[in-house]
Structure 1
Amino acid sequence: MKRCLLLLLFAISALNSSAQDPWKISADQIDPNHYFGITAANGMIGIVSSPQPFKVKNVVLAGTFDTYGRGRVSNFLNGFNLLNMYLEIDGNRLDEKNTGNLQQQLDMKHAAFTTQLSFGKKASIKYTYYALRHLPFTVLMDVTITANENLKLTAASVMETPDALRDVENYYNEIDRPHVTLSLLTSTAKSPTGKLQLCASNSFLFGEQHGLEPKIIHEMWDNNSHLMKFSKALKAGESYTYSVIGSTISSAQHADPLNEAERMTIFAKLEGHDRLLKYHNAAWDDLWQSDILIDGDPQAQQDVHSMLYHLTSFSRAGTSYSLSPMGLSGLGYNGHVFWDTEIWMFPALLVLHPDIAKSLIEYRFERLEAAKRNAFAHGFKGAMYPWESADSGVEETPVWALSGPFEHHISADIALAAWNYFCVTQDKVWLKEKGWPILSQTAEFWASRVERNGINHYDIKNVVAADEWAENVDNNAFTNAAAKLNLKNANLAAGILGLPQNADWALVEKNIPVLTFPDGITKEHAAYNGE
């Protein structure tokens, strides 16, 4: 993977961020032609911002993959864009041409993304959206319009189906109860191959007492888009606030996603706006109990908070989902999981949030059988994890990239994460049930992978190195050192669990070479001459 890993952490640069606040990234000079978006996420849903008023660029739902587009492999799916809206003032629909003073801000402390803008002299508008941390499949958007002159507004929630989805069905339901009327704007569609069903449902939240809320009208535009809207008159000096609550889920998470999307939206609506924000903020306050504080350097503090925010907003405890290099910030790297997770992202989460780190290693444990089948197919024993992984755990690297069949250090990287999880948590039950199977099966892979050519010549030949420009080389230093550590840690785990030491693992570990130049400097691989 010829990567720019730091894009995950620094995509915010498109917002011309200021370091004056350790928690807030703000922008007031936004160029739509050089805009990459920033993500409000809760570890399950990622909402990617847009410079266009009342639009979001992407909605990404963790765990939703299907084969389409690039590489004939599984790709992340664009989910239902359930926070797209429009606002009309006196019949004029607001857009980037007739609005001004656009400002955007991400509050990393509570994962809230806010946009402010003005419509001439008539009105100022502010809206904030959240992927609710305590409700993994639910989002909330608050909108406030302040009238500077008398005006009539029309606000719509627009449910749009991404182009890749098919067999779209749209529904509008009203459920009347003595204390509430529930208006549900709902859509469902199949993924490109029909493998998954994706569903979303929205409802308005109004501040008025029941019976005094605006009248909602449903409109069907075409098969891929429908909306619900309301109108309201405001006098100069008045402000009006309404919200949209919505849920999205797929058959990857629930056997009945269509009904469940509506149930979750009903649940959130009847929880009420204030309770939703209370529990969302409390969940983020709890996450930030683990933090890294830097005195005297506001820019460094903001940068570190950005890194931690993106790691924690793209993952969550209690799941078996892992992290792609781009997290939930879009469809980059097809949403696949690489070594980046275990080597670069996992350590910080393990120390600060071991419960989240457990989800990442659970992802690998659940795909251990697929890794064993992969080793078998390549003539090896044990478990050979794929270089690129998606939902099933099979190899997802496009065939034109040689890293798929040859970048084998990934198995040792995963074993290292499993060992580190035990070292930090000291959870021996977990080590026995899940850590040991990963460590032992990857050790078996390396014992079968080496070519036993004599003392200090248990060679690992024909790999793609961690430096991916070095293809089909022998005895890559990183690969060999990682394999040695994998074998060593597997025997350490055996000792902790009261199991016998594996003499063959010890023999192989001792004889895998890490090549050096005559002056002792590590040699990247056998054919490397210092270039």
Structure 2
Amino acid sequence: MFIQFQSHINRLLFFKVMRLVVMLALLANNAISQQIKKDLWTINAIDTANYTPAYLGNGIVGLRSQKSGLSAERVIVNGLYDRSNLGDYVRLINNYNPVNIKIVFNDKKELEFGAKVKNWKQTMKLKEAVLETSYTYGTQIGVKTQMLALRNIPMAAMMIYEFEALEDIEFTVQNAITIPDRSKNQGIYKANLNYGMYSLSTTIKEKIPVMSAAFPTETGNDCVSGANTFFFNGHVPQLNYTKLNNLSQQLAFTVKLKKGEKYSFCMLSAFTHSKFTSDPYNDVVRICSRDYNLGYKHLLENHKAAWAKLWESDIEIEGDDEAQIDTRLALYSLYSSIAKGFELSIPPTGLAETGWGGHIFWDAELWMYPPLLVMQPTFAASMVDFRFNTLAQAKKRAAQFGYQGAMYPWESDLEGNECTPISYKLDMNEHHVTADIAIAAWNYYKVTKDKLWLKQKGFPLIKDIAEFWVSRVGKDENGNYHIKNVVGPDEYFEDVDDDAFTNGVVKVVLDAAVKSAKLLNESINPQWQEVFNKIVVLKHKDGHTLQNAQYTGQRIKQADVNLLAFPLDFITDKSQILKDLQYYEPKIDPNGPSMSYSVLATSYARLGQVDKAYQLFRKAYQPNRKAPFGLISEKPGKSATVFCTGYGGMLQTIIFGFAGMKIGENGLYQKKANLPLHWEKLTLKMSGQEDIVCGPSK
């Protein structure tokens, strides 16, 4: 009896111990889970194979990283285009890079990234928009750097360097600034290299070293200017300035360290040009001196605070860590590519590359703009204001080709000029961009309900675009309207008639023109309603929407017909949407632009087919991720990275697909969330508004 009782006690103790073990394990797992959540703001790289640079930007300055962490591979400056060697092709400024540090040892050998580098690591901190690099170099020094494009000073970038001596050592830090040769240019601006010690004020004795440079663009009509200054922790070393030649100058200083000692400094790089200021030569020095007396740590903290403000608008995903960090990388890439106050838009690759010249396409309005309209309305306002500011040029362009109203270029520079290379025909007939711009303006009003904005900017845009389309259509003997000789989103088919997306988006624009005119008691052109009623959208005898009058089932470059369901909400019948999805998905070129699959994913999510939606959501970006940071390219193979267009599509799937958000006549609202089954929760955090929380699908 005692033995049985003792055995019972032992079993009770065993189960109590096991329950304690399980509880401790759950607590440990929860702690690990919390740690993982913290890590979902960072991306760590430890392998340099197949290295694709990280991207840091603030909407005006874009930086691409190098493995060494000492310099930027390339700097791109927004707001000004220059000619390239191709003659008729213009690109954002990308031929000036002062973010350039070299370390030269006493034996005259330079620190070179290679076999001597050990324990290399780069960490991309999305929350703070900082890239950290660390490694040891042989037996000589340990290197730590931070690279950032300052959010609080959008015309500046900053590098922070720290070196630790692994042995007694002496080395020289060199910063060279080189400008392109413009000696044959005839213009009002001249090349200039300069170095000076500038007073902070009449009461502060300290002076700041500034090495500046300025040079004209190839046309000579504009000027680019940049400068570097240094912050030193404690003793200021002797600075040695050398003008190397007419195009290059250098500032250098020598560092001596005993084993175990550390040395750190900061370099601030400033940029401006004649599109931003009438005094680029001197304003770049002024940018360097802003808050210099408060120290670089003050600038760094303000940068972090500015990003913290941006991240008040975030997307949180529980249950899919991979999707979470990829989603934040998407938001980060868009946020890094635009700034308040400049009324600029976003090129397809942001400020990470000059793919497509950094021109503004329909990518801005149809792909990047909708998620920003939800998450960062001020950025969306900048994008649509950019189009309003180029409206006058669009009206001249329409007149040039014999049309009424406003006709926007396929590839726009900042003045609204057509920048498509003359060898690339699409600029002549890919006119749907003009309609896409009006849709963006109408959606801005629907979300913000800013009637004054609609009157001053939105309606003038929509009206002139509507006028273009009623002059662009043709009428047949039956009274129906057609749009002939166009290129739709599927660019594999040129000069087709009645492209489905083009005709559909025109109907949406004309409807917006009528509705906005009524809201403002403005006059309505009766042709808007007539063309709206009578323009055709073709259907195949089998029931699917026909892509264009000439289409017979060939492979397509990217989504066209399927855009009518989303984002246009032109086709709303579920059976028709499904029929079009099933017909066109197999026909999309797998090597085409990635964003097609995000459009399909959004429609499938809205139809409640969550598994299919999630499969396409992953297909829209995962094959395009590039090592080591996971930034996506346009296509699965080698192509331009930080594809903001694709990121815009990906975010739209989350916001308008899985979260079920819609933009209706009464603004932004949620219809029905349909989450992937393993997503535990999806939260849209929008600054100043109540969070939208979505639970798992049943």
Partner of 1:345: 368
- With 182-191 and 226-235 compared, the bigger mean Cα shift is at 226-235
**Which residue does the alignment assign to 2:167?**
149
Equivalent positions of 1:64-463 (< 5 A) are 64-70=80-86, 72-91=88-107, 92-97=109-114, 99-101=116-118, 102-162=120-180, 168-175=191-198, 178-208=204-234, 212-455=235-478, 457-463=480-486
Is the contact made by 2:242 and 2:250 (CA closer than 8 Å) also made in structure 1? yes
* Secondary structure of the corresponding residue to residue 315 of structure 2: coil
CA displacement at 1:68 relative to structure 2: 2.5
1:114 and 1:129 in contact (8 A); partners too: yes
> Which has the larger displacement, 235-244 or 304-313?
235-244
1:55 to 61, 68, 71: 71
Q: How far apart, in 2, do the equivalents of 1:307 and 1:162 lie?
A: 34
Q: Larger C-alpha radius of gyration, 1 or 2? A: 2
**Equivalent position SS for 2:456:** helix
- Whether the 8 Å CA contact 1:458–1:512 is kept in 2: the answer is yes
Displacement of 1:20 in angstroms is: 9.4
CA distance in 2, matches of 1:100, 1:272: 31
Checking the alignment, whether the CA contact within 8 Å between 1:325 and 1:341 is kept in structure 2 is: yes
Match of 2:424, SS state, is coil
Q: Larger deviation: 519-528 or 158-167? A: 158-167
1:30-69 superposed Cα distances (whole Å, 9 cap, x missing partner): 13xx433121111110011123452311111101202232
Instruction: Classify the secondary structure of the residue corresponding to 1:57.
Output: strand
Does the C-alpha gap of structure 1 residues 219 and 98 become closer, same or farther in structure 2, counting only changes over 3 Å? farther
Identify if the C-alpha distance between structure 1 residues 244 and 520 changes in structure 2 by more than 3 Å, giving closer, same or farther: same
Say if 1:354 and 1:20 are closer, same or farther in 2 by CA, change over 3 A. closer
Quick check: 70-79 or 333-342, which moved more?
70-79
Partner of 2:673: none
1:520 matched residue in structure 2: 543
Q: Percent identity over the alignment?
A: 35
Q: Deviations over 1:303-324 (max 9, x none)?
A: 1111100101001122111111
**1:23 counterpart = 2:49:** no
How far the C-alpha of 1:116 sits from its partner, in A, is: 1.5
The superposition leaves residues 97-130 of structure 1 with CA deviations (integer Å, 9 ceiling, x where unpaired) of 3641232222111111122221112211011111
Query: Cα offset for 1:396?
Result: 1.1
Letter in 2 for 1:202: N
In terms of mean alpha carbon deviation, does 409-418 or 215-224 score higher? Answer: 215-224
Distance 1:344 1:164 in 2: 38
Moved more, 268-277 or 119-128: 268-277
CA distance in 1, matches of 2:169, 2:515: 73
Q: Is contact 2:182–2:215 with CA below 8 Å preserved after alignment?
A: no
Deviation at 1:235, TM superposition (A): 1.5
Q: 1:86: how far off?
A: 0.8
SS of residue paired to 1:170: strand
Choose 351-360 or 168-177, whichever is displaced more.
168-177
Change (3 A) 1:237 1:84: same
Deviation string 1:115-160 (CA, Å, 9 cap, x unpaired) is 2221112211011111110111111110000112221232122212
1:506 CA drift (Å): 0.6
Of 516, 530, 541, the residue aligned with 1:507 is 530
AA aligned to 1:28 is I
Residue aligned with 1:230, SS: strand
State the one-letter code of the partner of 2:215.
Answer: A
* Paired letter, 1:200: G
Which residue is equivalent to 2:684?
Answer: none
Runs (4+) off by over 3 Å: 18-21, 89-92, 162-168, 176-179
Q: Give 1:330 shift.
A: 1.7
- Which deviates the most, 61-70 or 328-337? 61-70
Q: Residue 116 and residue 108 in structure 1: after superposition, are their counterparts in 2 closer, same or farther (change >3 A)? A: same
| Alpha-carbon distance in 1 for matches of 2:494, 2:315 | 38
Deviation at 1:80, TM superposition (A): 2.4
SS at match of 1:293: strand
Contact 1:317–1:357 (8 Å) recurs in 2: no
Report if aligned partners of 2:538, 2:549 keep a CA contact under 8 Å in 1: yes
Write the distance in 2 (CA, Å) between the matches of 1:269 and 1:218.
Answer: 21
Judge conservation of contact 1:20–1:299 (CA < 8 Å) in 2.
no
Pairing partner for 1:481 from 490, 501, 504: 504
| Residues 182, 191 of structure 2: 8 Å contact kept | no
Residue 7 of structure 1 aligns with which residue? none
Distance 1:515 1:371, change over 3 A: same
| Alignment RMSD (CA, Å) | 1.9
Question: 154-163 or 135-144, which moves further after superposition?
Answer: 154-163
2:406–2:468 CA contact under 8 A, matched in 1: yes
Query: Which secondary structure state, in structure 1, belongs to the residue aligned with residue 226 of structure 2?
Result: strand
Task: Assess if the C-alpha contact under 8 Å between 1:53 and 1:94 holds in 2.
Answer: no
Q: Secondary structure at the match of 1:232?
A: strand
Q: 1:271 offset after TM fit, Å? A: 3.4
Report if the CA contact (8 A) 1:382-1:443 is conserved: yes
Q: Residues 295 and 151 (structure 1 numbering): CA distance in 2 closer, same or farther, change over 3 Å?
A: same
Amino acid at match of 2:211: L
Mean Cα deviation higher: 199-208 or 500-509: 500-509
Is residue 54–residue 86 contact of structure 1 (8 Å, CA) maintained in 2? Answer: yes
Residues 238-296 of structure 1: CA distance to partner in whole angstroms, max 9, x if unpaired? Answer: 11111001211011111111100011101242231121011111100000000111112
CA separation in 1, counterparts of 2:432 and 2:129? 35
The answer to whether the 8 Å contact 1:474/1:527 transfers is yes
Range moving further from structure 2, 445-454 or 281-290: 445-454
Distance (Å, rounded) in 2 between the aligned partners of 1:45 and 1:98: 32
